[in-house]
Structure formats: C-alpha cells, structure tokens
Structure 1
Amino acid sequence: MFSNLLHASRSSIQLKLFLSLTAIVALSLTAILASQVYLVQDYFVRQAEANLRSSNYLLSRVLADPLFEKDLSLLQARLQEVQTKLPLCNFQLKDDIGTVVYKVGEVRAHSDTEFDPNSRDGCYNTIIPVVHENRLLGTVRMGVRTDDIAQARESLIQHSAFFALFWFAVFMLPFFVQIRRLVNPLGDLSRAAQEIANGNLDYPTPEPVRGNDEISRLITSFQGMAQALVSNRNTQAASLAALNNEKSTLDALLATMPVGVIFADRSHIRYCNNAFRQLCLLGPDEDLVGMKNDTMLLRLGQIAAEADSFLKTLAEILETRKLIEPKYIALKDGRYLRLISNIVIAPESSGYLGRFWLFEDVTEERRTLHMAELRAEHDALTLLYNRQRYDQDLPRLIAQAERDGSRLALLLFDLDNFKPINDLHGHAAGDIVLKKIAETLTLQLRRNEVLYRIGGDEFALLLVNASNDEIALLAERIVQTVRSLTFDFNGATAKVGCSLGVARFPHDAITLQVLLQLADRAMYEAKLRGKNNWVMHHDTTRH
C-alpha cells in the first residue's frame, strides 16, 4: 500500500500538494503541541519543586521539636500526619547518631540531583536535614511520588492531540476542495497533452475554467497550441501528399530512363533505379538502397574488366567537387558504361546533400564510334591504314626523328601489270588482287613497320630506326612476296609485280617534301629498270 501511495505521489500533483500541505500542517501542529506540553510540564515541575521546598522546610520544623525533646509519641504522631499529607514512596528518619527512628518502604542510598517527573519508578528521592537552633538533630530520606505530574502531562497530550486533529481537519477540508478545483483542470490538461504527444491531435482539449488566473490562461494557450498543431498537421499532410505525388512521378520517370541512376549521401545509397540494376546485373533480391557507399563501389568493381583501374577512377571522382568529364568503364562481359557524377548541394543552406551517379550503356555507341574511326583511318577494301592516316603519321614520325635523333625510311611502291587485270577481268578481280596483297604483306609486318594504301594500287610503308641492310631486306621481301602471288580468274592465271622506291630521313632528305620526292623518284627509277624490283635513293644497282 505504501509503495502504491509513493507511486501515486510521484505521478499526481494533486496528491503531491495534499501530502506536502499535510506534512507542513502536521509538523506545525506537532511543534505547537510539543511546545505546549513542554511549557506546561515545566510549569508543573517548577510548581512541584517549590511545593517540595516548602514541604521540606515545614517537615524539618515539625520534626525538630519532638526529636529534640525525645518525645517519641509526638514524633510518631507527626510522622503519621506527614505520611497522610505527602504522597510518599518511602520515608526514613535517623537521629543525630544515625539510628533509624522511623522507616516506611525501601529508601534509596542516594538522592536525586534534580526533580524528574519522568523517572522510571515515579519517585523523587531527597535528603532533608532536621535542625533545631542550628543543631543537626537527624536526617530524613524520603521519596515523593511524581505520578500526578506524569498523569497531568498525558492528559494534556491527549486533549491537545484531539484539539490539533480537530483543527487539522477543519483547515484541510476547504484547502483540499480548493486543490481539487485547481488541479483537476491540470489533470485534464496533462492527459490531453499526453494524447497529443502520442499523435492523437483530435483529442478534445479541456474546457477553460472561469477566471483569469494562471491556470485559465494556460488552458487557453494550450487550446491555441492544439489548434495550431492540427492546422500544421493538415498542412503537412497536404504537402506530403503533393510530395509523394511528385516523388511517384519522378520515380516513374527515372524507372523508364535507360540510364542507371544512383544517389548517395555521405555514407549510404539512398536511391537506385531499375536501369542501374539491369546494367550492373544485380539479382532480384539484391537491394542497393541502404548499402554503404564503399560496399557499392566494391560491388561495381567486381564487374569491371580492370577492377584496380576502375576503383582508382572512382577515388578520383570522389575527390572532385564538380561535374566530371564522362568516364568510360569496360566490363568483363565486353560492354562499356559511360559514368557521369556530380555532388548535390542544397540551394538554400549550401550544404552537401550527396552525390549522384549516372551509368549509361554505350557499348553500341562505342562500337559505332570505333567503326567510324576505323573507316576514317583505314582503307575499306584492304583494311590497311589509308591516305589520311598516312598524311598524319609521316610528319609526326619526322618530327619525332628530329627530336630524338632517330631514323625513318619511306618505302613507296605500286603494282605492275595491275591495269590489265582490271581491264580483262573487271574491277572485282582487281579488288581481289589488292586485298590478297594487303593480307599477305600484313602477316609479314614487324613491330616497327607500318603499311598504308595511299591510292588505287599505290602503297607506302614507314620503317623506324632501321639500318640500310634491314631496309634492303624489307624492300626485297616486299618485291618477292608480290611477285610470288598467283591469281586465278575463271581459269585464267594472272600475276602482278611491284616497283618500289626508298628514301631515308635524314640520310637522304631533311624535309618532308624532299623525302616524298626522293622516294617517288626512286620508285620511278625502279620502273625504268624493268619493274618488279626496288631502288634506294642514290643506289644505281639493279635488284
């Protein structure tokens, strides 16, 4: 029961006020009662001590004469009279030589130092000398009862306690009524506040009390606050509905986009659309939302063709605080993804919200671009580098040779007896000849040899850092290879040859134009020498 009361006192302000006031009033009345009892008892004690002193004096005078005259009968009579008039516990009279003349009850050996009405035996023991004309005739030891004082004190305590309880009840009853009048609205207010705190904004608020005191104003303010909360809730609900509608629209748009989209804050993935799941071959149960950023990046690294290079690229992106140039990622399955990323900043607070990532499958785009690049730099028929690539490489290699002191050889050759094949068997036959020669020579190329088709039946070959002997061997190999090929067109056998001219940089020429002229002149010289051979500039030997 006490624990229940203690729990209630902790939760009810009404009970707290009542118990606090009860304690204060009870302590006050107890203090008043104790003070009253103390004062009355002190009065009784002083009165008893005064009476006792007077009795001691009279007793000494009454007993002095018969004791002086040795009149035992008179002494006996006066002792009996004293015993009837005084509330004695014990009494003993000794003469001057210590002989016990009269004794009633057991006398203590020692007297009490002070008058104590609360003594355990209810008796105050004292010693009275019997003196006659300054002569000690004897000694009286007696104990005087103090029960009457203790009884009077108990009676006073009982009456005072009854009086205190009566006035306590008279005082507490109206105050308790007032407490209930004040606290009950607070209880209603507390319950309403608890319901509102739990989300029940439609809970009825307490009715305002009459008056203009603090409680009335508090309830009025609470009602205004509750109405404001309801209004805010309705506004937020409308805003949330609009936001959800916009979010649904945005999700639908992002879901239909062929581009993979990811949004991540500082630590975790917050959004991922279906296109990204498909691009990265995620399983149906594999959810990126809520995944740590590092885990997501490692997951992407598993499908990259070069994981280390990919993770390094991602690290560089994460250190950038602006829109990056598109990055291209090769995947293990042969696809290519284009990656674009940028940070997202809140427009109002300029705070960092996160980073978005866009992934787009550009495999077909890369393949188309690669084919376009091949067509731009390669001959469509022979798949050799074309004239455009030749015009780019030749000045670049000459400039490089000038910088590092290396050597460059230019070999120009065209086909002999090629026009009759076109005339007799058609251009398709001529295309077969060109493709076969290109395929055969390509298989023989070495690391520092690059072959070009620069015209109809004209070819060029660039050779870097080769000696004269190596150049001669290459020229001879080309001439012999072309000469050895035989073609069959509908039963008719055809053969071609080639005339090849060589010019060297910087041995023969130190400019591009001169190098071209010398190589072309050497090729023309080879034709004059009977075709199917090669000529190096300044070399007049027939090969």
Structure 2
Amino acid sequence: MMRRLLYSLRFRLVAATVLVELVIVGLLLANGARLLEDSLTAQARAHNQELQLLLRAALVAPLAQRDYATLREILSELQSREGLVYLVLYDNLGQIAASVGWDRTTPLPPPDQDSALGRTEVFHAHLPIAAAGSVRGELRYGLSTRFLKDTQQKLLREGLTIAIAVLLLSLLLLTLLGYWLTRRLARLTRASQDVAAGHFDIRLPVRGSDEVATLTRSFNQMSAAVQNRIQALREAQQRFHAIADYTYDWESWLAPDGKLVWVNPSVRRITGYTPEEVIAMPDYPLPLLAPEDSEAVYAHFKRAIAGTSGDNYELRIRRKDGQSVWCSAAWQPIYGAQGEYLGIRMSIRDISELKQSQLVLQEAIEELKQSEDIQRRLLEQAHQEQARLASLLSAMNIGILFESAENRVIYVNAAFRRIWLIRDGVELTGRLTTDVLTYSANVLARPDHFSRHVLEVTSTHEVSDTFEITMADGRVVTQVSYPVRDAEGRFIGRLWIYEDVTRERQTAEQLIYLAERDSLTGLYNRHRFQEELTRMVADADRRQSHGALLFFDLDEFKYVNDTFGHRAGDAMLIRVAGEVSSLIRRNEIFSRLGGDEFAVLMPDASEKEASMLGERIVRAISQIPFRFEGQNIRLTTSLGIALYPDHADNAEELIAHADTAMYQAKEAGKNAWRVYRADLDASRQMLSRLTWNERIVNALEKGLLRLHFQGIYGAHDQRLSHLEVLVRMVDEADPDRLIMPGHFIPVAEANGKILDIDRWVITESVKLLAQAPERPSLAVNISGRSFDDPLLPQFIGETLAQHGVEPHRLMVELTETAAVSDLHDAQRFIEALHVTGCRICLDDFGSGFSSFAYLKHLKADILKIDGLFIRNLPNDYDNQVFVKAIVDVARGMRKTVIAEYVEDEDTLAMLRRFGVDLVQGYHLDMPRADHPALAGGAA
C-alpha cells in the first residue's frame, strides 16, 4: 500500500511542489544570511573607525608628555567601555608605554587586514599615534567581534522558524488540492484494472467537459470496442481450430525468434508427443531431429525463421519411442494485416513409406551407376596411363623399343629414331625386330660383333648385360634388354633400351684431363705429379730399379712478372713448357708444380741420362728467343737432379733433395744444373732444410702444432673485429720451446707438407668456432701451394657444414705474392671459396709492383696492407702516400682495409686519418694461445 502511495500521481504532485518551495526558501535564507553578514560587517568597520578616532584623540597628549600613569588609566577605561580585549601602547622608540589585557612577555599577533573583520572572534588592529605631522607612537589592540556572531545566529533562527511554518501550511494545502484534482483519475485507474482482468462491460459516468471528462468518455468507447473485438476473435478461433486441429499434416506456427507459438494435434500421430509437450520443449526443434540430420536441418530452420519460403525439404524426425521417421517439410512466412512479419507456418508430412520405396529404387540405381563409374574410371585410367607412358617415353633421351613374343615391334619412341637415324616417315610397328636396323642411317664399326650379341640375347628370356655399340662416326651407344612378363609371369615380349653416351664419355675424358692438367701450360699438374712420383718409387722398389727427379725454376721470374706484367710471365711459362716438352720422352713425366716451378720424372734413368736431359733443358731454355713489347728478355733456369734410391729412400725425401740440388745450382751462378751432393749440403742452413721435413711430419703425426691468436680491431673504436689464427710448432727436443712459423713454413711449402698444415689449421679453427657460436670470427692463412689443391675449398665447406658453423665466421687469408704469381689458379681458388660462403682477405697487399693491376682480377673481400709500409709510417712520406693510395682504391672497390704491424699510437692515429678500417699489431694485442676473446666469447 505504501509503495502504491509513493508512486501515485497525487504524491508526486505534492512532493514536486514541496521540493520547489524548499529550494526557494533555501535560496531566500542563504541570501538573507549573506546580506545580514555584510550589514553587520559594515557596522563593525564603522565602529572600528570611530574607535580609532577616539583612541588617537585620547592618547596623543599623554603620550607626548610621557605621562604613563594617565595612559594606563585611559587604556583601562577604554577596555571596559568599548569592549576591547587588550591594548598595548608603544612610544616612538618602540618601547611599551602602557598596556592592559596582555602579557608583556608574550609577542603580539600580526595585525589583521580590514577584510578579516567579522571572520574571527578577535580582530587584531594597529593605530599610529601622530600629532603635528610627527608619529608619537603606535597602539596595538584587539577588538572582540562576538556580538556580530550572536546577532547573526539570532536572526537566522527566526528566519528558519518562519520558513518551516510556511512549508507545513503549504504541504497541507497542496495535499488537499492534489486529492481534489486526482479523485476522478483514481476511478479511471480502477476501471482500467477491471478491463485488464476481463470485465469489458464497465462504463464510467461522464461529468463536466474538462480533460478528465474527455478521457473518461474515450475509456468507455475503448471498452466497448475491445468487448466487440474479443467476441469476434473467439468466433475466429473456433473456426481455426475446427480446420487446423483435424488437418492430416503436422501444422505449427513459429514466432520470428524461433519460439513455437502453436501446433496442431497431428503432431502426436507423427512424433508421439502431445502439443503441450512439444510447446514446452527447450531449443525447439532440436529435440525432434534425428542426430545425423540435426546440423543441416537446424541450418534450414534458421534460414526459414529469417522469412524465406521452402517446399518438400526431407528430414528425419526422432519419435518419442526413439524411432526415426522420414518426413517432408514445407514452410512459408506469415504476415499481419499491416504487413508486419509474424513468423512462419510449417507443414510436416510423414513420408516414411514413400521414402522406403525410393531408397530401394535408389540403391538399385546407385549400384548400376557405381558399376558404370568403375568401368569408365578404369577405361579413363588406362587411357591416361597410356598417354602418360607415351609422353614419358617420347620425352626421354633414351631410345625405347618394345617387341612382342613373336619378335615384332610394338612401339618405338622418338629417341630411338634419333639414335639410329631412322626417318619419322618409316613405320616400324609390326615389323620384325631384326629388320628395323635396315632402315637406320648408322654404320656400325663392328657389325658382326653386334649381331652375335643380339642373337645371344634373343635366345634367352633373361636380362642382358650392358653392351656398347661403336658407330663408324665415333659415337658410342649402350644397349640393354629386359624381358616383359604378364601378371602370371608368362613371357610376352622384350624391352630394348639404347642410350647415346658419346657426350658423357667425352665429358668424363675432359674432366679427367682438367683434373690432372695445368690450365695454363697443359702440362701435368702437381696432383698428377705426386701420383706419378709415388708410382715411380713403388715400381722402382718392386723391380729393384732406379729413377731420377729433375726440379727446375726460371731465374728472376718474379722480376720479369713484376716488371712486364702477368701476361708476359704467362707467355714465358707457355714458351718454356713447349720447348722443354720437345725434349721429354714418352715414358717421362713433365709437370708444372705451380708458379715457375717444373719437374721431370725419369723412370729407369741413370745419373748420366738424367744429367744429359738436365743439360739439354738448361741449354734449351737459355736459347729461347723471347721478345715482349719490343724488349728482348733472356731466360735462364737452375735445375736440380736427385736419383732414386741413391739420394733418397722415399718420395718426400727425393723431392727435398731435388729441391736442394736446384738451390745448389743457383748458388753456382744460376743457368746451370747440379746433381744432388750431400757434401755441398753440409752447412747448418742446408742441413736444417733436409731435417725439417721429418720434424714437420712428426709434428703433424704427434700433435705438436699449436694455434695462437692475435686480435684485429676497429681503427676508430678499437672494438675487436676478429682473430687471426697463427700456427706454432712445439720443439720435440725441448717441449717448453715454441718454434716460430718462419722456420718451418718455407720448408713445408717446398716439400708439399704445407697442404696438410693448412688443413689441420682449418679443422682446428672450425672446431673452436663450433664450440661457442658467440665467439668472434677467425682468419686462417692459406699457402700459395694450396692453389694447386682443387679439393681444398670443398674440404673447407664440408668441415664447416659438419660442425654446423656459419661460413661467414671463417675468413681465409691469401698472400698477394702467391696469388699474383699463379693468377689463374688463384682466381679459380677464390671463386671456389666464395661458393662456400667464406670471406677472402688478400694478405701482404702492396708487396708486388703490380698490386693495383691485379686487384680487379682477384675478387677478395678484404685487403691487408703489407707491414713493410706500416713500420715507421709517421716518418716515411713515401709509405704514407702509398698507404693512402691503397685505402682510396680499396674504398672505391668497396673492400675492407686492414693494416698490420701497428706498433705505436702515432701510427694508429695516422691510419685513422687515412680511413683504414681495421688494425693489427703489438700496440693493440700480442699473439697468444689463451686469447681472452675465445674464453669470453664476445667480440
């Protein structure tokens, strides 16, 4: 009851009016309080001004006369009469002349501004005491303002009492007025509730002509209209049920949101559920759908609810007893009188018997279709397989011939006709296989041999061996035959396969030639020389025979190469190779080992025969008329001879002694030959040269090689870029002593052991990189002799891949002198290294006279300036010019520049100014085995 009262119109009118009055009264009271406060404050200020005039007039004369007793009496009288809290009078010297109401030991509060008057209980003021234009002193006093607060509160209480009385009187009047205005509206409300309860015969009396009377008249009309409409609706509903409830099909009406509104009794005959049970189902129609059809049917149901039409959609309904029945559904949208969408009407009919008949017929039709499809598919597959086989055989470069069991041709492809030069117009199918070659334009080199082979093959039903057929024009064709059998293993024919392998044979021969020949001179290369030397030594040991090795190089060849250029050097090497080749017998091996070094192997040769050939070679080279660009160049050579087994008992020692004999010839004045003599090799240097070979072999076999590392840093920020790998050898006699590379590397290069050292250094460096991916990159030095090893780049790539190291982390350094002396091999070697992904550094750059000329041919990534130009750089102007030129050229060719042998700060500063990228030297880092960058792993 209380809630209805609170929500009634009567209560709202009264409450709204009271709220408005409360706001108005509150504003009036607030404004009155503000005006009262302003008035009282103004009166207080006026009182204060009057008081100041009184105080100044009363105190000026006694203060001037310093009559302190009179001053105290005046202050006491003023305090009691004017309501002052305290008064303190200062003379012109700042001393207290008199005071009342204040402790002299306590400091006075600061004076207040006039605006603070009335805001505090005590107003602190000050008053200068002046007479005749001069200040006699100052009065400090406190004025009580409590009377202002008391007056203000009294007036506010009176105003609030009047406001409450006015509000209570207004509330009483408004309540009576609200009841009088809303009494007829209350009757309308009760009548509306009765109509809502179904009492449509209610009519209210109409009094007056105001708005409430008009509303009452409209209510009576509405009640009558609703009563008539309800009666018509009941009659229409009776007719609807008379038709719909006895319809054979299951009819239903669904609202736009998919909720079932109505369903006829036929639903029980089809589903077993009563209409009430169906209407009460949650998620209709999912509970009535067969599980296997629910997803598809529900999707159609959603589209139907959206307002579409559908006809004869077949679905399976799950009955109450669990059985499934086939039904046919049709639906159409329903619209109201104003065209508004009301939902859909759905009709469902049981078609189980019809569906059963259709299924039986459909199964028979499907079986027939499947049979036809299988036959058609097999036929298509057969045609496709035949077409693919024909295309494959036609596209092959291998000749194919199929023959039947009766030895007649069934099929030949285009490659067969090309190989045997049979015109396309000649029909071969159906002919005897033995007659096919009569149409060939080929001429067999050995026809009888071929005929015997064919007869042997056809006499058996087995796979034949590969048979080579040589044509009269030099072509080589291989033939092989396979028997063809059916699924039960019966012989039904034969397959002949022919392949023209002429080009493959020529390519193989060319590869063999390239693998063992020097690309410049056409002579055997170092690899073939090593094989032939090993073979000669083995044959000599087996047959107890002997042989000779001749070693020679061209005197001053480096001078010719540097003075006249690489082209002149190449021409000279080709001319020497041609002249000497004419002196070599068929059983002798003439090889170019690299650069200007040549060797001749003489199996079964005596010392006399070797000496005679050596003399002819020296004389022939010295007589070569060589002229280049208008200048005559005289060639000479120094040749050394070593005999096996007189001078050596193995191939390595024989090479070392032949090399020693060649140096003995050079020491004799060059343009000469010498047979190895041990007595001339008795000096410490020559003896050391002979013993180093064994020491190097022992170091490799016993693990006496060690790696040291020196850092290469950025010239500007001195951050570590990478490490250069340096090799050392442990002295076998004194394990605490390390042998520097200058002692054993030249010997290793001369006897070929440098190749093994290079591979060992590469392997160990890659292992170090693999141990920690964050370690800085490593740079390894490769000897010029490695240019003759075509497998070294492949070895580097395989080693990196085996240990999982990124190729860019390994840098390969090649000396410029070695590269320029054998440019073709160096170019090939660098290109092969680039394929592996490694970076290339050209070491000792500038040491040759033609560095800039060859720079465009050697595709190196980095140039390392020869230390010869870096030492004493700040004091050598010529070296400064040369280094700056190298940096400018390298920058123009987008190459990185490294300067080595940086040994002081002045050199480093000058290299920075020149634009050098990286620096290396004792000023920055000393070579050491335990470099901290390897331990820390950070560059």
Point out the structure with max Rg over C-alpha: 1
Larger RCO: 1 or 2 (CA < 8 Å, sep 6+): 1
TM normalised by structure 2 equals: 0.30
TM normalised by structure 1 equals: 0.49
